[in-house]
Amino acid sequence: MREFNVTGICLPKEHYMVDITNKVNQIAAMVEKGKYFTINRARQYGKTTTIRQLEKFLLGKGYQVARISFEGIGDEPFENEKNFCQTLLRQISDALKYKEVEDYNTWINESVFTFENLKLYLNNVCQKKRVVLIIDETDKTSNNLVFLRFLGMLRDKYLERENPSKATFQSVILAGVYDIKNLKLKMIQAGTHQLQDGEKRMNSPWNIAVNFEVDMSFSASEIATMLNEYEKDHKTGMDIEAVSKEIRAYTSGYPYLVSRICQIIDEKLGKTWTEKGVQEAVKLILCENSTLFDDINQNLENNENLRNLVYNIIIQGEKYPFKIASPEVNLGVMFGVLSNKNNIIAIDNEIFENHICDYFISQSYSIKGGLSSRVGIAPDVVENGKFNMELAIKKFAQHYYEIYNGKNAKFLENECRLLFLTYLRPLINGAGFFHIESETRDNKRTDLIVDYSSEQFIIELKLWHGEQKHEQAHKQLIEYLNSKNKSIGYLLTFDFRKNRAKKPSAKWVKKGKKKFLDCLAV
């Protein structure tokens, strides 16, 4: 019986898999046109599985496919040109032997020990053949300078290939997390390379490569292809379309997260294939200490500018135009943290947003300036499994007043959202989770959705900017409640005026069929 898989390669006979035929066809069309390109995507984004399916497709079309990997080969092959050339040729020979290519032995030649030798050698071994070179895990070595010189040689061969005597690979595909132009940045961070005078942090010997624009994320309809296969075996009666859309909503189609949700529902939640089951699986994922989350944390810690950008988006509620040329945006996309949503920088998916918010909350326990954001747990906000959001917000407003009244107003204005989220997290931990609605977020307002058990709460966080703006906030909240088909909401406004009220206040406001708690924190 097949199962869901989140570790290693996915195999059609053993695992339930999304049908990625359309993606493979798009990539194969690039190969047919003789394109050179990179597939750089974040960890656990299905790169290797896609490459294996592409390889199978190309072999069926008569190509010779040499799929090799830099993972696990150590640093010795990258110490000099001779080691690299010999290792490369051995790996290609082994790959073609495995595919039962008759002349695989022609790739072994011990006299090839420089890139100039290799350049000439390729003229012979690639003559009248359609050889595709696929190198996986291109960033799994600490010293990439030799590899970058190899790419420069391939670039020269590519530019000469109109000459019949200058044969080379039909297509070269490089796969890894780091884009080629960022490999030098990776070496700098690892301490294996120091910039010389005038040397750029990011450049590429791979400027012949075309942009890789195939969407590797899974759409709801693609997720449904996997669930259809599962349903044929288990006959659960699930609403495949509804479940697929719910999985897509939380994951934005991130392959690992899609498969992990399905695996948890199948193995830990009694095959509860419902929208509620998806939400329960998300809760469990957020409690896991996964290598994917570890990677996200490490990437934020190692790249201060990226960390600050992500912090401003999630915590400060700020919006920025999406510009991939920005180094921070480029890194964020490369690591799978950021994406382009309507030309605005956004956190890629709700699960990542929730995890990163937790990361910042954990960091906030030692906020600079001696202010502690840790708020005492208020267990009475939960009674008989029901969460009392009204009481929780009122308690926060009172605690905020008692602890922070008279403190640095400018600092608090920047941190007030984080203080509330820090307060909220332990109250809902384990039984619920929250996410920030990126579609409505701006620098004066943040919409927060809290899921707890079977209930969902809509909270708007806002800074005070006068009575007129406050009335507008009422209208915005009502509009948002309508869009979510909810009748009750919560508005938490932070007031930093010098003549602000002396005490926090909270009252229920009813407008038509909608009502909301209007709470002022001072």
pLDDT in tens, the chain (522 residues): 899 999 988 999 999 999 999 999 999 999 999 999 999 999 999 999 999 999 999 999 999 999 999 988 888 999 999 999 999 999 999 999 988 888 899 999 999 999 999 999 999 999 989 999 999 998 876 567 888 889 999 999 999 988 888 999 999 999 998 777 666 666 666 665 565 555 555 556 788 999 999 999 999 999 999 999 999 999 999 999 999 999 999 999 999 999 999 999 999 999 999 999 999 999 999 989 899 999 999 999 999 999 999 999 988 878 899 999 898 999 999 999 999 999 999 999 999 998 999 899 888 754 444 334 444 446 688 888 889 999 999 999 998 888 877 666 666 677 788 888 888 888 887 678 887 765 554 444 567 889 888 889 999 998 888 999 999 999 989 998 998 899 999 999 998 887 788 899 999 999 999 999 999 998
Report the alpha-carbon angle 243-288-454, nearest 5: 45
Long-range contacts of 292-300 (CB under 8 A, 24+ apart): 292/43, 292/44, 292/256, 293/355, 295/42, 295/43, 295/335, 296/335, 296/336, 296/337, 296/352, 296/355, 296/356, 296/359, 297/359, 299/331, 299/335, 299/337, 300/337, 300/356, 300/359
CB atoms within 10 A of CB 169: 24
Q: Which of 287, 285, 306, 282 is CA-nearest to residue 296?
A: 306
456/54 Cα distance (integer angstroms): 43
Tokens of 396: 């926060």
Res 498: pLDDT: 77
SS3 387: strand
Are 329 and 338 in contact by the 8 Å Cβ rule? The answer is yes
Are 336 and 253 in contact by the 8 Å Cβ rule? The answer is no
Alpha-carbon distance values, 267 to 49, 98, 218, 251, 272 (Å): 23, 36, 22, 19, 10
Backbone angles phi, psi at 172, to 5 degrees: -125, 125
Report the alpha-carbon angle 157-163-169, nearest 5: 40
- The contacts of residue 233 (CB under 8 Å, 6+ apart) are 1, 2
Q: What is the three-state SS of 422-441?
A: HHHHHHHCCCEEEEECCCCC
259/163 Cα distance (integer angstroms): 47
Alpha-carbon distance values, 153 to 33, 183, 346, 444 (Å): 21, 17, 38, 53
CA–chain centroid gap for 225, Å, is 22
CB atoms within 10 A of CB 371: 16
Res 436: pLDDT: 76
- What is the amino acid identity at position 511? K
Of all helices (H) and strands (E), which one includes residue 177?
none
491/473 Cα distance (integer angstroms): 8
Report the alpha-carbon angle 24-181-144, nearest 5: 95
Res 201: pLDDT: 52
Are 353 and 447 in contact by the 8 Å Cβ rule? The answer is no
Tokens 């926060």 sit at which residue? 396
- What is the amino acid identity at position 77? P
Q: Which of 435, 462, 439 is CA-nearest to residue 450?
A: 435
DSSP 197-213: TT--SS--S-TTPPP--
Alpha-carbon distance values, 330 to 83, 335, 339, 521 (Å): 33, 9, 10, 38
- The contacts of residue 196 (CB under 8 Å, 6+ apart) are none
Res 186: pLDDT: 63
